[in-house]
Amino acid sequence: MLWHLMFRVESEKKALHQLQRVSAALGNELNGIECKRYWKIPELWECDAQSALRPGSVTDLITASLLQANCLARGWYVLGPYFNGGGELESFSGIFNLKSGSRATATSLEWAHFELDVEAASPAGRGRTARGSTL
């Protein structure tokens, strides 16, 4: 699963600490970690990361995605699933926004996006590796 998370913290060190909390909440290692200050709102740090899902059917992957997202926050706006003409999963994602009255497990999490990495979830993409660091 691909994650784009925005934390209201003072430094990259604190953003990485929040990612450790996210990893613990997910019960899953995060890979491909990259964090940077959000250009539009300097008080926010945006972090990209990936977490693995167990191989399974499309239904299993969607369910696992929702369960992982639910570990981080309540009140996701879910997009999809969308399928192509051949009936294969094309995309499935969700958006969390603290300002919409939702609730996050990590107190500094203000916005998040998850996307089921369809390419990595396919049998051909299972060995794909992430760039960036690991928690």
> Residue 100 has what pLDDT?
66
CB–CB of 30/3 below 8 Å? yes
> What residue segments make up the domains of the chain, in order of their start?
2-125
Average pLDDT by consecutive 10-residue portion of the chain (135 residues)? 96 95 92 95 95 90 94 94 92 91 87 88 48 54
103 half-sphere exposure, CB direction, 13 A CA radius: 3
Q: What is the pLDDT of residue 25?
A: 93
Token readout for 20 is 């450790």
Task: Give the number of residues written for the chain.
Answer: 135
Predicted local confidence at residue 129, as pLDDT: 41
CA distance 68 to 51: 9
Q: pLDDT at position 127, please?
A: 40
Q: The tokens 């019960």 sit on which residue?
A: 27
Instruction: State the amino acid at position 131 in one-letter form.
Output: R
Task: Give one word for 5, left, alpha or beta, with left for phi > 0 and alpha for psi -120 to 50.
Answer: beta
Query: What is residue 70's predicted lDDT score, i.e. its pLDDT?
Result: 95
pTM for this prediction: 0.86
How far is residue 90's CA from residue 81's CA, in Å, rounded to a whole number? 8
Predicted confidence at residue 130, as pLDDT, reads 43
Residues 90, 82: contact at Cβ < 8 Å? yes
**What letter would DSSP give residue 133?**
B
